[in-house]
Each structure stands twice: as structure tokens, then as C-alpha cells.
């Protein structure tokens, strides 16, 4: 069974630009969650999508947004990039029920210059 | 506010030297505690899920245990390939968000020296 895939793996952008990251979940998984990982803050929850609807949201500004498609693939968008947005962005998928394990992708490393 | 604290932040062991990593949490209504392993530049890899106090799970040289306040990841006779950052995460009801949230600790970086 194929794992969670994320594209692109690496990205370099400049301040003020916007970026879109993509995540394909494990086949049969309907929930996709996004996390930001930085050395100082660790893993922080951005949001979760389930059946094309945002089900949970973390404490991030509105510049961070996402969506989910009917095939469960998800995209995350960050507008007006700031230097502090440099991080590893991880997505995780699960079948969507409470207590279910989330399985992570390899992440997208974003560097904002 | 819910908190998940992992200790120590970093641990260096000689190959074969057993030890334990700690994950303490202050949440109400714990639904599950998850352990992950993360290698540099990669996404976290799932290890264990524990649901209730007293539960234990084992996989090769790793054993995870859970009490009402904390979880331990015991590493028996570690090898250099066990070197990684170990993350724990707690799933609990977040009244502010009105939903179940998964909160991660900052991890313990384990180095096993040959």
C-alpha cells in the first residue's frame, strides 16, 4: 500500500510570494491533517480536512489555508510569505475516526528568503 | 492549556545501554497517546498507540507504557540504527476548538554510539 506523498519536496520562495503544497493520502483515507515543524516550536497543527470539509483548525493566521478534493487529495496554500514561514510542512492521513493513527508523508521543506 | 512535555531533550547512549524516554501530559479526556520516530529530513514514522493507563506495547527493542500522567518509551540494548528523534503526541478534547486535537511534544533526540 502506497504511503502518503507530498509534492514538491523542496521549495525556495521570497517574502511576499505565495506557495501551494500538495498531499496525496493513503488510499482509503479520508482525513488529511497539515502540520508545521520548526526547530523552536516543534510540530504544530495547522488544520484537518475530512470529506472535503475543514473539520479542525489550529492557531495560525488566515494566510494559511487549505482545501480537499473529492479524491481526498489536499492542498495547502500560504499567501504573503514571511521569513518565519520557513519550515518543514507535513501532512498526515487517517481514515478519520477518533483515536485513529495518523500516517505522515515525507514533508515539504520550504525556505523563504 | 493542554501540555505535552518530553524529557530529556537529548540522550546519548552507548550501544547496548538501555534507557527510557519520558512523555508527561496534562490533558483531560485523553483518547490516545501516540509514539513516532523521526529521522532527519523525513516525516514521523508511527510506532505505537496507547489508549488507557496500564497498557503496554512492544516492537523489537522498544516498549511503550502508559500511566494516567505519563508514558515511557523503554529502549532495550539499543543499536546505532535506533538513533532518531522520538516524538509523543496526545489526542484529547480541546474545549476551545470544540474538537479532538493531537498535540505533539518537542521530542527526544536519541544518539546511540557504537
Give chain A positions within 8 Å (CB) of B44.
43, 90, 104
Statement: residue A21 has pLDDT above 90: yes
Instruction: For residues A69-82, give the mean pLDDT.
Output: 97
Q: What is the pLDDT of residues B21-64, one digit of tens each?
A: 999 999 878 889 999 999 998 999 999 999 999 999 999 999 99
- Reply yes or no: is the peptide bond before residue A8 cis, omega within 30 of 0: yes
Q: What is the pLDDT of residues B62-75, one digit of tens each?
A: 999 999 999 999 99
Phi-psi map region of A95: left, alpha, beta (phi>0 left; psi -120 to 50 alpha): alpha
Q: What is the pLDDT of residues A34-69, one digit of tens each?
A: 999 998 889 999 999 999 999 888 889 999 999 999
Give chain A positions within 8 Å (CB) of B87.
42-43
Statement: residue A14 has pLDDT above 70: yes
Task: Give the nearest chain B residue to A5 (CA atoms).
Answer: B43
Place of cell 506557495: A19
Amino acid at each position: 500500500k502506497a504511503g502518503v506523498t507530498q509534492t514538491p519536496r523542496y521549495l525556495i520562495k521570497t517574502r511576499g510570494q505565495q506557495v501551494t503544497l500538495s498531499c496525496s493520502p493513503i488510499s482509503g483515507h479520508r482525513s488529511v491533517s497539515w502540520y508545521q515543524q520548526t526547530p523552536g516550536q516543534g510540530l504544530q497543527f495547522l488544520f484537518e480536512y475530512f470529506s472535503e470539509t475543514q473539520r479542525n483548525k489550529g492557531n495560525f493566521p488566515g494566510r494559511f489555508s487549505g482545501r480537499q478534493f473529492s479524491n481526498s487529495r489536499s492542498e495547502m496554500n500560504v499567501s504573503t510569505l514571511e521569513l518565519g514561514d520557513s519550515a518543514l510542512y507535513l501532512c498526515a492521513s487517517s481514515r478519520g475516526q477518533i483515536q485513529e493513527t495518523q500516517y505522515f508523508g515525507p514533508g515539504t521543506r520550504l525556505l523563504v528568503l | 492549556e493542554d501540555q505535552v512535555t518530553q524529557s530529556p531533550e537529548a540522550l546519548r547512549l552507548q550501544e547496548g545501554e538501555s534507557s527510557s524516554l519520558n512523555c508527561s501530559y496534562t490533558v483531560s479526556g485523553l483518547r490516545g497517546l501516540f509514539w513516532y520516530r523521526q529521522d532527519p529530513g523525513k516525516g514521523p514514522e508511527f510506532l505505537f498507540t496507547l489508549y488507557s493507563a496500564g497498557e503496554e506495547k512492544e516492537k523489537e527493542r522498544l516498549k511503550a507504557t502508559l500511566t494516567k500522567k505519563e508514558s515511557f518509551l523503554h529502549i532495550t540494548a539499543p543499536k546505532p540504527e535506533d538513533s532518531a528523534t522520538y516524538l509523543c503526541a496526545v489526542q484529547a478534547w480541546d474545549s476551545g476548538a470544540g474538537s479532538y486535537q493531537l498535540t505533539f511534544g518537542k521530542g527526544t533526540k536519541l544518539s546511540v554510539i557504537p
